[in-house]
Amino acid sequence: VVGVAIDTVGFISRLPPSLVASFRSTLEELHQADLLIHVVDASAVQAREQLEVTEAILKELEVDGKPRITVLNKADCLPPESRNRNWARLVAPGAQMVSALNPDDVIRLRDLILEHFRKGLEVWEIVVPYEESRLEAMLHAHGSVETVRHIEKGTFYRLRIDESWARKLDLARFRL
């Protein structure tokens, strides 16, 4: 699972087109990403313009179809009349309005990102015999463990895990 967060729009939008080309190799890593997090400074007067510049660059790089979460950050810096959903929909339809200074906003954004990746994972219910307990760390490292119960035959796990990791860990032999 690869995520990329790049905050360069203000910098890129002020560069001459010939120099933007020199950053292309840096931006090419966007092709490897499973999710793009596009952070827009909500307090910037030109927030909509910055959003459009990034959209154009993503289209030019042919990554505009990648899954993306648009985040309007610095909500705490907006005047009260701008801190509503309608304003956010005008600047960036579907965007998440957050303040990085607000722990609840950060947690909400983190959960949204995690949920994106969880949706692509398979649900497995397995019983790992106690003598195979070395597998436990791998399940936690490469999966999202939802339930753990110790039963007579071993440890029951309900988890979400990428298909390739399930194969590598040979989880099929423990499946119920």
Dmax of the chain from CA atoms? 68
Other Cβ atoms closer than 10 A to 131? 7
Stated length of the chain: 176
Q: What is the pLDDT of residue 160?
A: 93
Is the separation of the CB atoms in 92 and 65 below 8 Å?
no
Percent of all residues in the chain with a pLDDT value above 90, rounded to a whole number? 34
pLDDT at 8 over 70: no
* Two structure tokens written together for 118: 């969880």
Give 113-123 pLDDT, tens digit per residue.
988 888 878 89
Query: How many C-beta atoms surround the C-beta of residue 29 within 10 A?
Result: 12
Using the predicted structure, report yes or no on whether residue 6 has a pLDDT greater than 60: no
HEC string for 6-61: CCCHHHHHCCCHHHHHHCHHHHHHHHHCCEEEEEEECCCCCHHHHHHHHHHHHHHC
Stated pTM of the model: 0.65
